[in-house]
Amino acid sequence: MSSSAIPEQQVRTCLEGLFGEDLHAKRVLSLALATLGVIHAASLSVYAIGQAVALARGAQGKHGVKQVDRLLSNAGIAVWKLLALWVPYVLGQRTIQARVELADERSRVARESGTAGAGGPIR
């Protein structure tokens, strides 16, 4: 098994703290592995990310590629909902205006897609 600059468990713990209440544990794991792959990949292609996941975990490349491909085609991953949880985490207490703009954007997207109310409150 190869050592990685950022341990898999550290990435997983961070994402569980952000998304654990809103996503199934297996989806959080998939996001953590894909994040680990992005950190280690030289490119942002599905193949490169999957290969990097496998390398970081000491597994065969084809398994990592398959995991990343399945994650990206998973309809249960609501990107805007996850973004609404992630952005405040990244911004911290820097600005209320950014949170207001994110809420406005989420409302606009919900109206356009016909999913009013999707995503829940912004924390």
Contact 63, 54 (CB under 8 A): yes
Sequence spans of domains, the chain: 8-72, 79-113
Contact 115, 122 (CB under 8 A): no
Residues 6 or more apart from 83 whose CB is under 8 A from it? Answer: 102
Please compute the mean of the pLDDT values over residues 23-36 and round it to a whole number: 90
Residue 1 has pLDDT above 90, yes or no: no
Tokens representing 35 are 């994040």
Higher pLDDT, 122 or 54: 54
| pTM higher than 0.85 | no
* Separation between Cα atoms, residue 8 and residue 59, nearest integer Å: 13
Number of other residues whose CB lies within 10 A of the CB of residue 56: 24
CA-derived radius of gyration, the chain: 16
* pLDDT-above-90 percentage for the chain: 20
State pLDDT tens for residues 57-115.
Answer: 888 888 889 989 999 898 888 888 888 888 888 877 666 666 677 778 888 888 887 76
Tokens representing 106 are 């989420």
